[in-house]
Structure formats: C-alpha cells, structure tokens
Amino acid sequence: MRKRVILLFLALPILCFANDIDDKLRELHQINTQVEKTEQELKATAEKKKKAERELSRTSSLKKETDKKLQGFRVMERAVKDSLDQVGAKLNETNEKLGYLNQAQSRELELLLKIDRNFKVSDVKHKSHRYLCKVLQEDYNVQMSTMNYRQNLENSQEMHSRKASAISRNVQTEDRKSRKYQSDIRNYNTQTAKLSKEEQALQQKVNKLKQDAAGLQDLINRLMAQEGKTIPSYEFTEIKILWPLKGRIIRSFGQETRAYNTSVVSNGVDIAVKEGTNVVAVDDGEVVFSDRYGGQGKLIIIDHKNGYFSLYAYNKDLKVARGANVRRGQVIAQSGMTGSASEPSLHFELRKDGRAVNPLPYFE
C-alpha cells in the first residue's frame, strides 16, 4: 500500500507536467487562432483602405476636371453677361433715340398742319411746307432704320439671354458636382484616416499576439524538451498543398447527407472524376495506411510529419504501400468507385492533430 502511495506521489508531478503542456498547447492554439483572425481583419481593413484611397484619387480627379469646366463656364458667363449689358445699353440708347425721333416728328407734323391750313386757299405751296415734308421723310427713314436696328438688338438680347441662361445652368450643375465631390473627398479622407488608425491598431495587435505566441512557443519547447517530446510545425514544404486531382466537387466539407433516417456530415470533399484518374500526394510524407477500409473503399493515409494527415478514399488501385515515403505530386493511386462511393470520384480529407479541417483554403 505504501509503495502504491509513493508511486502515485511520484507520478503526480509527471501528470501535472503533461497537463501543463496540454494547457499551454491549447493556449498557443487559441493565440494562433486569434492571430489568423486578426490578420484577416487587418487584410480586410487594408483592402477597405485601398478602396477608399482609390475612390479618393478618382474623386479628386473628377473634382479637378469639374472645377476646370466650372472655371471655363464662369469665364463664358462673364463674357456673355458683358455682351448682354452692352446690348442692353445700346438698346436703351436706341429707344431714347426713337423717343426723340417720335417727338420731333410730332412737332414737325403739327407745324406742317399749321402751314397747310394757312395756305389751304392757295394752290401754291410755301417753301417751308416743302422743307418740312422733306424733313419728315428723312426723319421717317431714320426712324425705320432705327427700329430695324432696335429689332436686331432685341433679337441679339434674346439670343444672349438664352445663352446666358444655358451657361448659368451649366455653372450651377458643375458647381453642385464640385461641392458634392468636395464632400466626398472629405468623407474619404476621414474614412482613410479612420482605417489607417484601425490598420495600425490591428497591426499592433498582431505583433503583440505573435510576440505572445513566440514566448509561449519557447516555453512549450522547453517543457517538451524536458519531457523528450517534439511539437508539430504545422508547415508544409510549400505555402499551399497540391490538389490530389482536378475535378468537380460534388460534396463539400461539412455538408450533411440524410438517408435511411441517418445523418452524415462530410469530413472532407468528394471530387467527381473519370475512373482511373491519377491521384497524387498533396505534399511530402509517409504512407501510414494503404489498404481497403470499410466504406472508404481502397484507402491511403499519409502522415506529413507536421501535425497534418491527408486521406484518399474510393480508389480503384493503390500505387504505394504502407511505410513508403512519398514526395509532393507523386502518383499514389488511381481514382475509382470503391466503398460507399455512388459515382467515380475521390474522397479527400485533411486532418490537423486528428481533427478534420476544410481542405479548400489549403489548396493552391
């Protein structure tokens, strides 16, 4: 009994030590998850900032073009207004002249009537009568010429007025556009400044999380070294893994299938291809299983020695045996319709620490 107590007492630190490593690994996983999430937020914020900057540049160019048009229309507006004022001034002078001519004609006509009455009994016309008739005729000619000139001025005034109205509408339109662009520019500047602050804050958060993760990783490495264990790297030979083959995805990761009062959730993807299509290893690794296995049909499992395993099912032929070391892109099987496959296809899974993960983000 005493020996059992002693053994239990000796084993307790080891169990606590192992639990401490597990806790630190879980904490590291949580921090890495936060890093990934924050980096995605940082990427989204950077894209929003780029979009805002593009819109700011585009709007600034549009405002510059609009201001140039507005300046041109305002120059035209001033020129037309000056012309319109000149025509108005000439029209006023012409109206005054016509008024003077009308008054003169009235006086001359009245005088002519008086002379005509005085010499009515005689057939001989006085020379004043002839002179006044001549003056009246000349004044009439001047009056008609002046009236024609006034009509031309009125036509010119109307034309200038229409042109001034059109230019004024253009000025108002371009001015509204310019003010709208200016408002948009202020908004984009505010948005860009806000996004810059968010981007800076997220980058600082990412740096802090990575710093925390690095410190925790060092601690885990020391604990693992003391226990004689190694931690998975979770890194492939390249940034992305290969597709095992190219085809049409007929069942997605996490997709639920209901049949015969049962529900099955897919741990991978099913890719429909012609039977006999070459299946390749998505990355370097060791074949840890190569045989027929229940509903998976002819199955291959590869340990990538980094915490990930890849699984290839429904195959027609298996080209590698258990224990073989395979290279990225090496043909390991030919697709088929074995196991529970309902059509020629490949069932592919990617597992991280034994848990199925969606493989699509990992593919090239």
pLDDT the model gives residue 130:
65
pLDDT higher than 50, residue 261 = no
Task: For residues 87-106, give the mean pLDDT.
Answer: 78
User: What are the φ and ψ backbone dihedral angles of 24, each rounded to 5 degrees?
Assistant: -65, -35
Task: For residues 203-219, give the mean pLDDT.
Answer: 81
Q: What is the pTM of this model?
A: 0.51
pLDDT the model gives residue 110:
65
- Band of pLDDT at residue 262, cut at 50, 70 and 90: very low
- Band of pLDDT at residue 13, cut at 50, 70 and 90: very low
| Integer Cα distance of 236 and 241 in angstroms | 7
% of the chain beyond a pLDDT of 90: 37
* CA distance between the termini of the chain: 60
pLDDT the model gives residue 22:
67
- Band of pLDDT at residue 4, cut at 50, 70 and 90: very low
Burial of 299 (0-12, 13-18, 19+ CB in 10 A): buried
Mean pLDDT lowest among 69-73, 108-112, 187-191, 283-287: 108-112
- Band of pLDDT at residue 320, cut at 50, 70 and 90: very high
pLDDT the model gives residue 260:
37
Q: Which of 52, 70, 77 is nearest to 178 (CA)?
A: 70
% of the chain beyond a pLDDT of 70: 79
> What average pLDDT does the structure give for the chain?
81
In order of their start, the domains of the chain are 1-231 (1.10.287.2610), 248-362 (2.70.70.10)
| Integer Cα distance of 119 and 162 in angstroms | 56
